[in-house]
Amino acid sequence: MDDDERTPTRELSEEECWRHLADAPFGRVAATAAGEIDIFPVNHAVDGRTIVFRTSPGTKLLELTIRNHVAFEVDGYTETDAFSVVVKGTAEEFDRQSEVAAAERLGITPWAPEEKDRWVRITATEVRGRTFERPRTAERG
């Protein structure tokens, strides 16, 4: 017998998805290379309808160069709700000085101590998200 009286899971509008993407302190990039899938946490910013992050030379940048079709995900929760947003799109490194200067103004501050001097932009081809009410606990009433 199911006595869960919560509202069913709801699809987020595209605007709600972009708002969650902009508010999240970090996200995860999923990329593939040589038949393997890797997931990398990154600090990011939303710039219009794109996602921008900094990285350093290495596996992540190499995978994004080899196969630029990626997924990007953020999730989070409040006292009462939880959400998940997934963006599918194409990633590209950029280094044109005007683009880098604009990206630097977005205020992305990587948490990792390594120098992150490469810039990547994900251009969304699909944005989807969903939200649902979290179960009530004895502590929440």
Q: What are the angstrom distances between the C-alpha of 64 and each of 78, 81, 93?
A: 32, 33, 8
Percent of the chain at pLDDT exceeding 90? 63
Q: Is the pLDDT of residue 138 over 70?
A: no
* CA pair distance 88, 63, nearest whole angstrom: 16
What pLDDT does 14 receive? Answer: 97
Closest CA to 54 of 8, 129, 112, 125: 112
Confidence (pLDDT) at 65: 75
The per-residue pLDDT for range 112-131, each reduced to its tens digit, is 888 889 999 999 999 999 99
Domain boundaries, the chain: 10-133
Q: Please state, for a pLDDT cut of 70, what percent of the chain lies above it.
A: 94
Which pTM was predicted?
0.87
Which residues are within 8 A (CB) of 98 and not within 5 positions of it... i.e. 6 or more apart?
Answer: none
pLDDT in tens, 36-57: 888 999 999 999 999 999 998 8
Is 90 exceeded by the pLDDT of residue 7? no
Which whole number is the average pLDDT over 22-42?
Answer: 90
Instruction: Please give the average per-residue pLDDT across 67-95, as a whole number.
Output: 94
Least confident range from 76-80, 107-111, 137-141: namely 137-141
- Cα separation, 61 vs 58, in Å, equals 6
| SS3 sequence of the chain | CCCCCCCCCEECCHHHHHHHHHHCCCEEEEEEECCEEEEEEECEEEECCEEEEEECCCHHHHHHHHCCEEEEEEEEECCCEEEEEEEEEEEEEECCHHHHHHHHCCCCCCCCCCCCCEEEEEEEEEEEEEEEECCCCCCCC
pLDDT, mean over the chain? 89
Query: Which of these CATH numbers, 2.60.120.10, 2.30.110.10, 1.10.10.10, 3.40.640.10, describes 10-133?
Result: 2.30.110.10
